[in-house]
């Protein structure tokens, strides 16, 4: 599931210009952190990655930029119920669902064509026209199962 970070970054520049928003180094650094990681990062992790690459970005700017990214469809926002939001690139990845570890918070992706079709069919059965869906599976990731044999037995 690779993401073309450069293409997304170009799209973000265009989005900013077309909305008369300045293309600042801070905004680009936040966008880059989201696009290049391909993972599901918290705002804090995104700020840390931008800083590690040489651009310190204030918290307010991080959140405002993430908001712009989400509204433009270039990033996707997730709330997995652990008290903060996470962000991942909004396009360039195939449709996928998430498994969230309730012990360590690790997020694992999975995707399945039949599952996607099944969801569409089930929605059709109740005469619902879906435009998107989210499927979240909560439990224990592989390494947490291994470090806790009791959990594995359940
Ligand atoms: Zn875990
Ligand atoms: Zn994902």
Asked whether residue 58 falls in the same domain as residue 80, the answer is yes
Asked whether residue 38 falls in the same domain as residue 69, the answer is yes
Q: Output the domain CATH number for residue 34.
A: 1.10.10.10
Asked whether residue 80 falls in the same domain as residue 103, the answer is no
Tell me, in angstroms, the distance from the centre of ligand 2 to residue 40's CA. 6
Structural domain range at position 62:
5-89
Asked whether residue 52 falls in the same domain as residue 112, the answer is no
Q: Output the domain CATH number for residue 132.
A: 3.30.1490.190
Ligand closest to Cα of 135 equals 2
Asked whether residue 84 falls in the same domain as residue 11, the answer is yes
- pLDDT given at position 139: 95
Tell me, in angstroms, the distance from the centre of ligand 1 to residue 45's CA. 18
Q: Would you write out the chain's pLDDT as a tens digit for each of its 154 residues?
A: 456 888 899 999 999 999 999 999 999 999 999 998 878 999 999 999 999 999 999 999 999 999 999 999 899 999 998 899 999 998 766 778 999 999 999 999 998 989 989 999 999 999 999 888 889 999 999 999 998 767 655 5
Number of domains in the chain: 2
Asked whether residue 11 falls in the same domain as residue 78, the answer is yes
> 110 pairs with which residues across the strands?
97
Tell me, in angstroms, the distance from the centre of ligand 2 to residue 20's CA. 30
Asked whether residue 85 falls in the same domain as residue 18, the answer is yes
Ligand closest to Cα of 103 equals 1
The domain boundary residue, chosen from 89, 106, 133 = 89
Tell me, in angstroms, the distance from the centre of ligand 2 to residue 88's CA. 6
Q: At what angle do helices 59-71 and 25-37 cross, to 10 degrees?
A: 60
Residues with CB under 5 A from ligand 2 (ion): 88, 109
Tell me, in angstroms, the distance from the centre of ligand 1 to residue 145's CA. 7
The domain boundary residue, chosen from 89, 117, 138 = 89
Ligand closest to Cα of 102 equals 1
């Amino acid at each position: 599931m690779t993401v073309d970070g450069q293409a997304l970054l170009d799209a973000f520049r265009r989005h900013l210009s077309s909305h008369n928003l300045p293309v600042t180094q801070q905004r680009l650094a936040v966008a880059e952190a989201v696009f290049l990681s391909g993972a599901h990062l918290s705002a804090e992790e995104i700020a840390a990655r931008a800083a590690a690459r040489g651009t310190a970005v204030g918290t307010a700017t991080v959140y405002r930029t993430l908001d712009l990214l989400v509204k433009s469809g270039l990033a996707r926002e997730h709330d997995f119920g652990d008290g903060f939001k996470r962000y991942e690139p909004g396009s360039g990845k195939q449709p996928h669902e998430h498994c969230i570890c309730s012990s360590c918070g690790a997020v694992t992706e999975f995707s399945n064509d039949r599952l996607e079709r099944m969801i569409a069919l089930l929605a059709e059965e109740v005469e619902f026209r879906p435009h998107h869906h989210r499927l979240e599976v909560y439990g224990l990731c592989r390494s947490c199962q291994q470090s806790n044999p009791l959990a594995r037995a359940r």
